[in-house]
Amino acid sequence: MKREVIGYSKMESELLDNELASSPFFFASPNNTMLGKGIEMECHQPIAFSALADKANAMLQDAKKSESDNPVLFGIVPFNEKNPTKFIIPEQLFVSSSTRALRQNALTPANARVISSPSGHHYKQGVSDLINLFAHTELAKVVLSRTIDVATDTDIQQQTLLRNLLSINAKGYTFAANISAEQKLMGASPELLVAKKGSHLISNPLAGSRPRSDSDEQNQHAINSLLNTSKDLHEHGLVVEEIERIMSKYCYNLYTPMVPSVIETNTMLHLSTVLEGQVNDPAINVLKVAAELHPTPAVCGYPREKAYEAISKLEQFDRGYFTGMVGWCDSRGNGEWVVTIRCAEVQKRQIKVFAGAGIVNGSHPQSELDETGAKMGTILTAAGIQLNDLLTA
């Protein structure tokens, strides 16, 4: 695999304009940006989560041209392991420093119409059903999601959409990956599942959210509420405890802050905890840890298997790669895997947008519906589509 370091301006302009449509993947973190060109090796099939790291390691070893060679594998992993995972090792990898200082690109508002969407009433009924389940089962949390399909009268400008996602996701992770010849998975995730750099391992789960306002005063009130509301602290605590349990199997000197903080995106406020430690085995592939963490209670629920069952009964669609994971790893085990949220499946004149909310005791159906609408707004706004009134009705 040929690797080339380029300037961020060349990445932002020349490569996005000329290569994005055919590129198998684009991935940007707060520190660097990667774009693949061509496909040297590919796997597209269902893989048990427990076997993901072994499959990735085998592909990476086969791709090595010499003992010192360090190829990079990019992957998108579904929410349910019965769906296909997609691994790609590109023929050529372009890498630049962060493109996050870019300004948003102006978009002509697109004429759009919703062509498929369960009603807000249906979603709120699902929240109520879950709250009833909590009273007489061991379920403590379930992430209930919904989706809408939107058709546009003009072509969706994928390069502009990606640039806008980059500009509004300065501290997060932006991605675009080919699902098929006609469809890309595109998004701007704020949530790091796990990353490994040498022997250092880090995870940053998010759980407990509020829509962000244009008013600083209202945002401060929402931040105070997140840090002082039992429902949100309980929801967040379930996620952190599970991630801490799994990371402790692979780490020593694991540090978990005693209390969460709040992070902001353009549309949301989230309770956040950063867990950090040193891995017992520096050679371990980060995907081994990611696969055991996935799916966390932040996107599935707790206990995991019971939450899976509730989701399959209440949600009327296949999540596919939504609430899966997307990222990369190299042959030395380093890499970054993020939770596939704030995302959409994008075609020429159609976009399928996903969002979910964590339901626990104390959840209010309308508030959870409003939260999913605010999350959907991230990518719809970046695409120049305004459906605000329809997202919470």
- Domain borders along the chain are 2-101+111-391
Give 34-63 pLDDT, tens digit per residue.
Answer: 999 999 999 999 999 999 999 999 999 999
Cβ-contact 61, 323 below 8 angstroms? no
For residue 386, what pLDDT is reported?
80
pTM: 0.94
Given the residues 19, 191, 242, 244, the one annotated as active site: 191
Q: 382 Cβ partners below 8 Å, 6+ apart? A: 161, 164, 165, 168, 188
Q: Does domain 2-101+111-391 have CATH number 3.60.120.10?
A: yes
Could you give the residue ranges of the DSSP H alpha helices within the chain?
8-10, 16-19, 52-63, 120-136, 158-168, 216-226, 230-250, 286-293, 304-314, 365-382, 388-391
Closest to 94 in 3D by CA, of 38, 35, 147, 16: 35
For residue 239, what pLDDT is reported?
95
For the chain, which ranges sit under pLDDT 50? none
For residue 363, what pLDDT is reported?
93
Indicate if 371 belongs to the active site. no
* One-letter amino acid of 94: F
Given the residues 141, 184, 306, 352, the one annotated as active site: 141
For residue 269, what pLDDT is reported?
94
Query: Mapping DSSP to helix (H, G, I), strand (E, B) and coil, where does residue 14 land?
Result: helix
For residue 41, what pLDDT is reported?
97
For residue 130, what pLDDT is reported?
95
Range 362-379 burial, b when 16+ CB lie within 10 A, else e: ebebeebbbbbbbbbbbb
Burial of 34 (0-12, 13-18, 19+ CB in 10 A): buried
Q: How far apart are CA 138 and CA 305, in angstroms?
A: 11
For residue 107, what pLDDT is reported?
61
Indicate if 141 belongs to the active site. yes
- CA torsion 14-156-344-10 (nearest 10°) is 10
Q: How far apart are CA 230 and CA 228, in angstroms?
A: 7
